[in-house]
Amino acid sequence: DFFPPFSNSETTNICNYVAMAVLLHITGVYGDLIESQWKRHYSVKDSGNIIPGHGGLLDRFDSALIAIPMGVIYLVVANVLHI
């Protein structure tokens, strides 16, 4: 296997691809909304000055705050990623 932690037969399953896409889409939107709500609650307009005019560096990754952990949880629960 090219990627040892992944089993070859399960990664080719189209159901896993569709479920993962839906899960990451939904959790990405919620990650964006949650990060925006945190900023409103703490009255922070920009989370940094590294990327001027774009709300800061954290705004580039706000959807990943929830999506990446949920994606890993899905891969482990679906027995696709063996860790």
pLDDT digits (tens, 9 = 90+) for 12-71: 577 788 889 999 999 999 988 888 888 888 887 666 666 666 666 667 788 888 899 999
Closest alpha carbon to 33 in 73, 65, 55: 65
pLDDT of residue 12: 57
CB-based contacts of 62, cutoff 8 Å, min separation 6: 31, 32, 34, 35, 36
Give residue 61's pLDDT.
Answer: 82
- Give the model's pLDDT for residue 23: 95
6 strand-pairing partners: 81
Please, which pLDDT band fits residue 8 given cuts at 50, 70 and 90? low
What does residue 21 show for φ and ψ, rounded to 5 degrees? -65, -45
